[in-house]
Copies of this chain bind each other. A is one copy, B any other.
Amino acid sequence: MAGGDSESPLTSPSLEQQFEKFRVQLEDSGSLLERIRAVVMEIESATRLMQASLLLVHQSKPIPQVLEKANAQINVLKDLYSKLAEVVRECPGQYYRYHGDWRSETQMVVSLLAFMHWLETGNLLLHTEAEETLGLNDSDFALDLEDYLVGICFMSNELPRYVVNQVTAGDYDCPRKVLRFLTDLHAAFRMLNLRNDFLRKKFDSMKYDLKRVEEVYYDVKIRGLATTGDSVGD
């Protein structure tokens, strides 16, 4: 009877060996994933603190004061990215295997750093500068180009709100400055042939940011509130 079969060792040794090896491999990659996720959760948490500080800029808190608090998180993030790079380095050539696990958090980090940089200097945080800020410049753990670009788009999404609040607080020169920055940024993006659907969609949203800032600038100009700023030249 077939029942007799069930008492004999069913599995062939090579099959057993292979799946035992797989079991170990899957445990290993599973625990690696858990360690990655633990660091990413810390990154997310530090980013939240940074963002909370940075949002005060919409209430017209003095920029140096706002930046000081936000900057305090940069070293925390640097340490966390160094920790993340160390974990990922354990499995060489698999950066992109786990990339999805820190992708959106890193886009947010880039977005905040770029906003801070713009508040401080009026310029775009470059890709190399973002890597340097996060301590990734000498690392094999690089900042993915598309993550950087998405982060910049996220920063752009923040600018219309900033302009509105600045004008409310009486800074009538802000729309002109933001408009100039955003126009340049939009033109630069237009040079790129974006095949990544998510990135292309985010870039499309930049056009609405631009339009909104143009509208605010228009409001300020038509009321004659922006005249002095223009005569200065810059």
Contacts and interface: CB of A to CB of B under 8 A. Distances in A.
Interface of A: 1-6, 10-12, 14-16, 18-20, 22-23, 25-27, 30, 33, 45, 48, 51-52, 55, 58-61, 92-97, 99, 123-124, 126-128, 140, 145, 149, 161, 164-165, 167-170, 176, 180, 183-195, 211, 214-223, 225-226, 230, 233
B10 A180 contact: yes
Contacts of A11: 184, 187-188
A188 B218 contact: no
Q: Copies per complex?
A: 4
Nearest to A148: B22
Nearest to A190: B52
A22 B149 contact: yes
A180 B5 contact: yes
Contact of A59 (B6, B22, B59, B96): B6
A30 B95 contact: no
Contact of A169 (B6, B19, B27, B52): B6
A218 B170 CA distance: 10
> DSSP majority for the A interface?
helix
A5 B26 CA distance: 47
Nearest to A230: B2
A189 B20 CA distance: 10
A164 B27 CA distance: 35
24 contacts: A1-B230, A2-B169, A3-B60, A4-B233, A5-B176, A6-B59, A10-B184, A11-B188, A12-B123, A12-B124, A18-B124, A22-B127, A22-B192, A26-B192, A26-B193, A48-B190, A48-B193, A93-B93, A167-B218, A167-B221, A168-B214, A222-B223, A222-B225, A223-B223
A170 B1 contact: yes
B19 A188 contact: yes
A188 B15 contact: yes
A127 B19 CA distance: 10
Most B-side CB within 10 Å, residue of A10, A93, A220 = A10
